[in-house]
Amino acid sequence: MSKIDYLFDQQHIWHPYTSMKHPFPVTGVQSAQECELILENGQRLIDGTSSWWSCVHGYGNEHIISTMKQQLETLPHVMFGGITHEPAVSLAKQLVEMTCEPLTKVFFADSGSIAVEVSLKMAIQYWQGRGKPNKQQIATIKHGYHGDTFAAMSVCDPDNGMHTMFDAILPKQVFTPSPTSSFDDNTNVTSDLAKLRSSFEEHHQSLAAMILEPIHQAAGGMYFYHPDYLAGVRKLCDEFEILLIIDEIATGFGRTGKLFAYEHANVTPDLLCVGKALTGGYISLSATMCTDEVAAGISDSPAGVFMHGPTFMANPLACSAANASLELINSNEWQDQVASIETQLKEELAEAKQFSAVKDVRVLGATGVIEINRSLSAAILQPHFLELGVWIRVFGSVIYIMPPYIISKSQLTKLTTAMKQVAKMLSEENITSTQHFLSHG
């Protein structure tokens, strides 16, 4: 196996959210198996992120790999315009069955960001078909994240969404404060919904849809809000004739303990975005689903068709991976796995509450979070996590893990121990440099 050319990487390859003048240090991964990343130097790291929340079945899953190999040999790709194929039809059937009524229509795309773009275009075009072309704005809540493409950026948190430099040219959307009621406490739900009602009363004539992450706001800060808030959002959207778009890209397929996070609130959306775990993280694919009514409105619009068609839409190889991944999900083993992870996270992370730098500790399903009372530097903390034999990426002020569902108890304990050790060190001293941190590690 060829060695990684780190110098070329540093000089020519742009990694996510990094500077080419001051590139973030990278870790060379040679292979992966189950819940471990195997580095070029032979070190094994327990993956606490599921490769950005996608590899829920772990690495090297034989069912997914064998399914993809068979598809690769028969039809790795074909355009989807005027053509269909069995993997796409089978996947659409599975998605319609899993989400149930009223989500009956499926549009395939390449990534989560594009699924969001598609949902926003669908919402706006729907109202054109219903004779209300002025409804072109989107409502959302703060602390949300929906992707890095243009329309998706416009509905990310306006202050902490990483996109403030584009404010002048992004579409102007309507933001409401994020809910203050935690997952386990609905005390503030009434006041939270009152703020949303006030916003809808002012803007509903121009609002095509509201988009939000259900229950679990991920990249916006790993916040978990009460299901009653989402139930109230559904009622307000119906009252004010606003479509509800639910972004399940990070949460879909079991992450919160329900198959889809919106099930915590016993609601269904008008449009649904899924991705990440859709293929088990083995290849990129996303989907936007909608109701018969939304599809009819789009078809009744002046264009008569939905004007979107990615080159790799419904790629057969990706659809085959998704079919295999959803077959594993449908086996329902994930339910016991996620419940066990949640119980262990609650037990093992509770200790971190005693550390002075810790602002909050929270757990939902297979996600565990230690929030620190100040911003954290991934560049400073990453080397220490590597020394501890884990792959954990901090962002903002949170140390979090979203591990594969197949993780063992001992592996999960190694992750939580690393989280607590870093939280303890951050409480004992002000870490200002990588060298200083490691010298005390």
Domain boundaries, the chain: 63-331, 332-428
Cis amide bond preceding 403, omega within 30: no
Cα 435 to Cα 27, 238, 379, 421, distances in angstroms: 18, 55, 11, 17
Q: Is the pTM of this model over 0.85?
A: yes
What does the DSSP assignment read for 83-130?
Answer: ---HHHHHHHHHHHHHH-TTEEEEEEESSHHHHHHHHHHHHHHHHHHT
**Cβ distance 137 to 203 under 8 Å?**
yes
Q: Is 52 marked within a binding site?
A: yes
Q: Is 310 marked within a binding site?
A: yes
Cα 349-39-72 angle, rounded to 5 deg: 105
- Helix ranges (DSSP H) in 388-430: 409-428
Cα 369 to Cα 21, 50, 280, 423, distances in angstroms: 32, 15, 22, 11
Secondary element (H or E) of residue 29: strand 29-33
Task: Give the pLDDT of the chain (441 residues) as one tens digit per residue.
Answer: 789 999 999 999 999 989 999 998 899 999 999 999 999 999 999 999 999 999 999 999 999 999 999 999 999 999 999 999 999 999 999 999 999 889 999 999 999 999 999 999 999 999 999 999 999 999 999 999 999 999 999 999 988 767 788 988 999 999 999 999 999 999 999 999 999 999 999 999 999 999 999 999 999 999 999 999 999 999 999 999 999 999 999 999 999 999 999 999 999 999 999 999 999 999 999 999 999 999 999 999 999 999 999 999 999 999 999 999 999 999 999 999 999 999 999 999 999 999 999 999 999 999 999 999 999 999 899 999 999 999 999 999 999 999 999 999 999 999 999 999 999 999 997 554 334 443 333
Q: Is 144 marked within a binding site?
A: no
List all residues 6 or more positions away from 392 whose beta carbon is below 8 Å from its beta carbon: 48, 49, 385, 399, 400, 401, 415, 418, 419
Question: With the C-alpha atoms ordered 205, 207, 208, 214, is the resulting torsion angle positive or negative?
Answer: negative
Q: Is 409 marked within a binding site?
A: no
Q: Is 424 marked within a binding site?
A: no
Rg (CA), the chain: 22
Residue 139: which of 262, 267, 247, 244 has the closest Cα? 244
For the chain, the helix, strand and coil percentages under 3-state DSSP, each to the nearest 5: 40, 15, 40
Q: Which two tokens stand for residue 441?
A: 């590690």
pLDDT at 161 (0 to 100): 62
Q: Is 367 marked within a binding site?
A: no
Q: Which CATH architecture has domain 63-331?
A: 3-Layer(aba) Sandwich (3.40)
Q: Is 276 marked within a binding site?
A: yes
List all residues 6 or more positions away from 13 whose beta carbon is below 8 Å from its beta carbon: none
Q: Which two tokens stand for residue 324?
A: 């295999």
- Top-level CATH class of 332-428? alpha beta
Residues noted as catalytic: 17, 145, 247, 276
Q: How far apart are CA 176 and CA 198, in angstroms?
A: 9
Neighbours of 367 (CB within 10 A): 25
Q: Is 393 marked within a binding site?
A: yes
Q: Is 441 marked within a binding site?
A: no
